[in-house]
Amino acid sequence: MILIGIDTGGTFTDFVLWRDGEVHVHKVLSTPHAPERAILQGIAELGLDPKGLRVVHGSTVATNAVLEGKGVRTLYVTNRGFEDLLAIGRQARPDLYDLQPAPRQPPVPRELCIGTGGRLAADGTWVEPLTEADLVALRAAVERLAPEAVAINLLFSYLDDSAERALAEAIADGRFVSRSSEVLPLTGEHERGIATWINAWVGPVVAGYLDRLSDGLPGARIAVMQSSGEAVAAEQTARHAARLLLSGPAGGLAGAAFAAGADDTARRLLSFDMGGTSTDVALIDGAPRLTTSGRIAGYPVALPMVDMHTIGAGGGSIARVDAGGILLVGPESAGAHPGPACYGRGGTEPTVTDANLVLGRLDPEGFLGGRMRLDPRAAWRAVGRLAASLGLGVEETALGILRIANEHMARALRVISVQRGLDPRDFVLTSFGGAGGLHVCALAEALGMSEALVPVHAGVLSALGMLVTPSGRTLTKTRLGRLAELGDREVESALQSLANQAIAELIDEGLSAEHLGVECSLDLRYLGQSHALNLPWHSVEDAIQAFHARHEAAYGHRLDLPVELVGLRVRVRAPAPRPRLPKVVEPRGATGERSLPAYGCDAPVRVLPRAAMAGGLEIGGAAIVADAVSTTWLAPGWKARLDSVGNLVLRKSAESGMAAIGKPGNRRDVEERDPLSDAPIPR
């Protein structure tokens, strides 16, 4: 079987192909208006026949639809008296001391929120049964309001979903319908309602996209990465659209864990994935962590997803001067079209990529392995206009752009580590994404870290992660009760019922039940608490003891209170494909080494292909290490070598100072002149 992993980013669409035991990589510019076009273009350029191809795809369609507010017209159905539930939310202010926050539009317009019967009490008894009159009224409302999708969220539906099922059947006219008892059967009516609404709101958008992709790849088996790190068959994806919101980033974490461990070296990773539009940061200690407290576009998404922090800083982030004369970078991005000025596709705004090129940290002739030539003149013109408005030199301005972008990313890395009580120095900073290697040394120094890793195929690592992602499901369900009063058999039975649901869905995808692995865990808290900790399930007694220990480790104390079971969690996975990364070998023939001038460096810096470092060669900075999909800037005071599978291992010399940021007394004469035309840059 031929496997291909595909990650659709804001600027590039990445491909990693595994065929005949070999890994091949490819990139094409994304087509945001129709993402499937870039995918079809890349597969054609790789010369692949779709028939028999197995595709695992990280899609941004659901994420972009939510971020851009481009879902379909959706009707929200809930119990009478709770029509304003989504608009009211939790009444929590984003900024605690902002007493006059700007009003925010409710997720669903008031006219599209309707109430009905079928209300349960917290103990599962009926407060208001669902009647035939309710069903007739619902059908009339659907006919009058003409929504494309319907979200049904009744109180305590996770205890008894019969009313939600009856409402869904009453609308069975081809419209997309989401039920909260299927999407997120957990406590928390607001979080459950938001997840159900998002699932309905973007479900038809995802379904239409996948239909177009499937039509363009006849005979291919297509799966899509879920936010929790498992793949789901394309034909089931639309039903689970809300599970795709971190589809691509989840692939990146899977790829980082796979590549970092491929040479049998145990590493704890602090990762940052820097693409063209955004940067995602996360911790990987053996495996990526999951959370049910994620947020997208300000909305809480309580579905299981990889635990990461995202900011709007990427290679395409635009630099500008605000009304007060302050230099800002991002979150606006040049994207794929027109892209950074140096791409030569009509972009004129200065970006982080343009700044790197101006400072000599990118090889204009070797970008993407020489398949795409950058335009230094365009980069200098774009940054030069910004420099003129600031009254600075061009290279000084470019340096300022990078410093601001680096501080944005360093702050995000502190959020995921320092603010959780973890010391970044206990981890290896791992950079990937097309732009990550250009900033890895500066970020490591900002965090006091002395070791970093740029994985093999770093520029397409999310796509590589798709290749090693198993098919699977992560399901959760509320189950309240004092854990000590529940027997092992009762908990086992509830977990088995949830596992059977996940197994049935995977069997529908053509997987064999005998090859599926099941992991069970419990969400536990002290009686009276609001937040829970997730622990593996073995037995009631073991779970109670483990919870006390975990609570003390996390919060510094344990309480003499009963332990309460909040929810059940089951993760069912098929065996993952394990393509073996080839061992690096001695370079043969000419290495293609060159040299380029770089700002802040007394002599031209080495530019060499990553493959030229095979065989144990260790180099010191400043240097540029490039391959077909990414570039790494090795700052002065850092050394680099390849490990056995081609990961670039970076270590800071004990005697080194700060990374090269441009010394005031070491400016080149051409600082304020275009280095190609020698024309003066406007001041």
Residue 291: burial class (beta carbons within 10 Å; 0-12, 13-18, 19+): middle
User: Over the stretch 303-350, which tens digit does the pLDDT of each residue have?
Assistant: 888 888 888 788 888 999 988 888 999 888 887 678 899 998 888 999
Place of tokens 């680096």: 406
User: Over the stretch 187-239, which tens digit does the pLDDT of each residue have?
Assistant: 889 999 999 999 999 999 999 999 999 999 999 999 999 998 888 888 888 88
- Over residues 353-364, mean pLDDT: 92
- Over residues 428-446, mean pLDDT: 92
CB 18 within 8 A of CB 1: no
Q: Does the pLDDT value for residue 384 go beyond 70?
A: yes
Q: Does the pLDDT value for residue 45 go beyond 80?
A: yes
How does DSSP assign 483-506, residue by residue? GGGS-HHHHHHHHHHHHHHHHHHH
- The Cα 10–Cα 339 span in angstroms is 10
Of 182-191, 432-441, 665-674, the one with minimum mean pLDDT is: 665-674
Q: Which residue has the higher pLDDT, 572 or 92?
A: 572
Residue 278: burial class (beta carbons within 10 Å; 0-12, 13-18, 19+): buried
Q: Does the pLDDT value for residue 671 go beyond 60?
A: no
Q: Which residue has the higher pLDDT, 175 or 659?
A: 175
Q: Does the pLDDT value for residue 680 go beyond 70?
A: no
Q: Does the pLDDT value for residue 436 go beyond 50?
A: yes
Strands 428-432 and 451-454 turn out to be parallel
The region, left, alpha or beta by phi > 0 then psi within -120 to 50, assigned to residue 318 is beta
| CATH 3.40.50 segments of the chain | 67-202
Give me the pLDDT at residue 681, please. 46
Fold of the 67-202 domain: Rossmann fold (3.40.50)
- The Cα 528–Cα 321 span in angstroms is 50
Q: Does the pLDDT value for residue 379 go beyond 60?
A: yes
User: Over the stretch 510-555, which tens digit does the pLDDT of each residue have?
Assistant: 888 888 999 999 999 999 898 899 999 999 999 999 999 999 988 8
Give me the pLDDT at residue 585, please. 67
Give me the pLDDT at residue 113, please. 96
User: Over the stretch 20-32, which tens digit does the pLDDT of each residue have?
Assistant: 777 888 888 888 8
- The Cα 273–Cα 253 span in angstroms is 9
Give me the pLDDT at residue 663, please. 39
How does DSSP assign 423-474, residue by residue? -GGGSEEEEESTTGGGTHHHHHHHTT--EEEE-TTGGGHHHHHHHTPPBEEE
The continuous run of DSSP H or E covering 78 comes out as strand 74-79
- pLDDT band of residue 660 (cuts 50, 70, 90) is very low
- pLDDT band of residue 673 (cuts 50, 70, 90) is very low
CB 267 within 8 A of CB 428: yes
- Over residues 421-435, mean pLDDT: 89
Give me the pLDDT at residue 662, please. 40
Residue 664: burial class (beta carbons within 10 Å; 0-12, 13-18, 19+): exposed
- pLDDT band of residue 370 (cuts 50, 70, 90) is confident
- pLDDT band of residue 629 (cuts 50, 70, 90) is confident
Enumerate the H helices of 68-120 as residue ranges. Answer: 85-88
- pLDDT band of residue 117 (cuts 50, 70, 90) is very high
- Over residues 69-84, mean pLDDT: 94
CB 587 within 8 A of CB 615: yes
- pLDDT band of residue 588 (cuts 50, 70, 90) is low
Q: What letter represents residue 642's amino acid? A: L
Q: Tell me: cis bond preceding 350? Omega within 30 of 0 counts.
A: no
Q: Does the pLDDT value for residue 108 go beyond 50?
A: yes
Structure-derived torsion over alpha carbons of residues 419, 420, 422, 428, reported in degrees to the nearest 10: -80
- pLDDT band of residue 672 (cuts 50, 70, 90) is very low
DSSP letter at 390 equals: H
Query: Count of CB atoms within 10 A of residue 84's CB?
Result: 14
- The Cα 50–Cα 54 span in angstroms is 8
Q: Does the pLDDT value for residue 590 go beyond 60?
A: no
Q: Which residue has the higher pLDDT, 431 or 289?
A: 431
HSE toward the beta carbon, residue 580, CA cutoff 13 A: 7
- Over residues 457-474, mean pLDDT: 88
Distant-in-sequence, close-in-space partners of 68: CB < 8 Å, separation ≥ 6: none
Distant-in-sequence, close-in-space partners of 70: CB < 8 Å, separation ≥ 6: 64, 205
